[in-house]
Amino acid sequence: MEYKINCIGILTSGGDAPGMNAAIRSVTRTAIFNGIRVKAIYRGFRGLITGEIKEFQTQNVSNIIQKGGTILKTARCDEFRSSEGRKIAYERMKEEEIEALIVIGGDGSFTGARIFAQEFNIPIVGIPGTIDNDLFGTDATLGYDTALNTITQAVDKIRDTASSHERLFFIEVMGRDAGFLALNSAVASGAEAAIVPELETKVDQLAELIKNGFRKSKNSSIVIVAESEITGGANGLAERMRIEYPEYDVRVTILGHIQRGGSPTAYDRILASRMGVAAIDALLDEQRNIMIGIVDNEIVHVPFTKAIKHDKPLDDKLMGVLHILSI
Ligand code: ATP
């Protein structure tokens, strides 16, 4: 018998990321193209519980491919962490005749999706949407490329003032569990170093920097720092510098939420478009409990259990590149 899905639900959950709208557009249009109805669920899992749900047609996703944020809104939903909350969500899905879900979000969202899918035997496919790029099994997540470009442009501007005043800048970027943004933006902006969470407990990265003759031929420097509770982020490191190395004129910039916003890059729009089509293809192919990923430019299916494991490695070679180019 032919496998058929008549109606899907789509939601965005966790932190917003540029490219989520392009993914909503792609999923909606691909589903309708295949004769599947689309129900848009607002405010992540919370909307599934409270019933903030609206049927989408193709024109509901017109003129959004270029927009940052998510038109479906996003929210953190503690109720979904309890089995009672998930039971209400399931009842709501049945009421709305939603037979499968597309979840666009990060590791927390996929953790919730995995539990929900198993409890009620629901087909769920995830699309990775998080600027941190911390999901295993995909070279890139939606929003990562845009955030990287935003950071690089901001650092270029800070460099102008850093060099005029001969200062040392610690610039804090997002990524408390993963140093992809910090390392890659450091290389892209010609920074002297990146302080990343992957090395926090292994070495004293600040002391290493100084020991290795940091800044020997330069009058200004930029160090990109991933936010962190262990190092205290850019403020924590700057405080240490002022005490341990008072000869430096240290300044701090915390880039904050500008990293999340803005129009997605062409790369993120194309990635979102491809992943949206792949997500519907996967559902029609009876796949479930998987995240769509991209590896070496090919679409792949990654079980949720693997995607959320937090063991995506940083590129050691790129760290080497940064080190060589900062002499
Ligand atoms: P980001 O990486 O941008 O922070 P995220 O998807 O990891 O995004 P979270 O806030 O961790 O964001 O999770 C989003 C939502 O997923 C939570 O508010 C909750 O509703 C659901 N969720 C997370 N973990 C669980 C869990 N263990 N059980 C059930 N639901 C969960």
Residue range 96-132, pLDDT digits in tens: 999 999 999 999 999 999 999 999 999 999 999 999 9
Pairing of strands 7-12, 37-41: parallel
Both 95 and 162 in one domain: the answer is no
In this prediction, residue 209 carries a pLDDT of 86
Residue 320: per-residue pLDDT: 93
* Ligand 1 contacts CB of residue 79 (under 6 A): no
Please report the pLDDT score of residue 167 as a whole number.
86
Same structural domain for residues 215 and 174?
yes
What's the mean pLDDT in 84-107? 98
Cβ–ligand 1 contact at 107 (below 6 Å): yes
Catalytic residue flag (residue 132): yes
Give the phi and the psi of residue 183 in degrees, each rounded to 5.
-65, -50
Identify whether 91 is part of a domain.
Answer: yes
Q: Are residues 153 and 195 both part of a single domain?
A: yes
If asked whether residues 251 and 297 sit together in one domain, one would say: no
Asked whether the predicted pLDDT for residue 34 surpasses 70, the reply is yes
50 lines ligand 1 (CB under 6 A): no
Ligand 1 centroid to residue 216 C-alpha, Å: 45
End-to-end, the C-alpha distance of the chain in Å comes to 65
Highest averaged pLDDT of the listed ranges 29-38, 164-173, 197-206: 29-38
Give the pLDDT of residue 165: 82
Considering the candidates 132, 134, 145, 268, report the single residue annotated as catalytic.
132
Long-range contacts of 86-90 (CB under 8 A, 24+ apart): 86/115, 86/116, 86/119, 86/120, 88/49, 89/45, 89/48, 89/49, 89/116, 90/116, 90/119, 90/120, 90/122
Q: Look at residues 327, 304, 259 and name the one whose alpha carbon lies nearest to residue 117.
A: 304
Instruction: Kindly state whether residue 299 falls inside one of the protein's structural domains.
Output: yes
In the chain, % of residues over pLDDT 70:
99
Q: Give the residues across from 168 on adjacent strands.
A: 221, 250
- Domain containing 152 equals 144-260
Domain of residue 83, CATH code? 3.40.50.450
Sheet holding 168-173, edge to edge: 193-195, 221-226, 168-173, 250-254
| Strand order from edge to edge, sheet including 124-128 | 53-56, 37-41, 7-12, 100-105, 124-128, 290-295, 298-303
213-251 per-position pLDDT tens digit: 777 767 778 999 999 998 899 999 999 999 999 988 899
Determine whether the shortest distance from the Cβ of 81 to ligand 1 is under 6 A: yes
Number of domains in the chain: 2
Same domain assignment for residues 150 and 139: no
Best CA proximity match to 253, nearest among 138, 311, 168: 168
Half-sphere exposure of 203 (CA within 13 A, CB side): 11
For the chain, what is the largest distance between any 2 Cα atoms, rounded to a whole number of angstroms? 76
Q: Is residue 162 part of a domain?
A: yes
Element (H, E) at 294: strand 290-295
Tell me, yes or no, whether 170 lies in a domain: yes
Q: Are residues 199 and 249 in the same domain?
A: yes
Are residue 123 and residue 39 in the same domain, yes or no?
yes
Pair 276, 294 in one domain: yes
pLDDT bracket for residue 2 (50, 70, 90): low
| Residue owning the nearest CA to atom 20 of ligand 1 | 77
Residue where a domain stops, chosen among 244, 260, 276: 260
pLDDT at 1: 55
Residue of minimum CA distance from atom 26 in ligand 1: 112
pLDDT of residue 60 exceeding 90: yes
**Cβ pair 146, 268 in contact under 8 A:** yes
Last residue of a domain, one of 203, 229, 260: 260
Residue 317 lies in a domain: no
Confidence of residue 200 (pLDDT cuts 50, 70, 90): confident
Q: Are residues 295 and 250 part of one domain?
A: no
Q: What is the pLDDT of residue 311?
A: 80
Candidates 136, 113, 140; CA nearest to 41 is: 113
**Average confidence (pLDDT) over 284-305:** 97
Say yes or no: 132 and 113 in one domain.
yes
- Ligand 1, closest atom to CA 132? 2
Residue 319 in any domain: the answer is no
Please give the model's pTM, rounded to 2 decimal places: 0.96
In a domain, 229, yes or no: yes
Query: Helices (DSSP H) in the chain: which residue ranges?
Result: 20-33, 44-50, 83-95, 107-120, 144-165, 180-189, 205-211, 233-244, 266-284, 304-307, 316-325
Which residue is associated with the tokens 């290389």?
187
Which structure tokens are listed for 185?
A: 């933006």
Q: Residues 29, 174: one domain?
A: no
Contact in structure between 250 and 167 (CB atoms under 8 Å): yes
- Residue that finishes a domain, picked among 260, 294, 319: 260
Q: Are residues 89 and 214 in the same domain?
A: no
- CB proximity list for 11: less than 8 A, separation 6 or greater: 40, 41, 42, 44, 45, 47, 48, 72, 101, 102, 103, 104
Q: Is residue 201 part of a domain?
A: yes
The pLDDT assigned to 184 comes to 98
pLDDT tens-digit readout, 156-189:
999 998 888 888 999 999 998 899 999 999 999 9
List the CATH number of the domain containing 196.
3.40.50.460
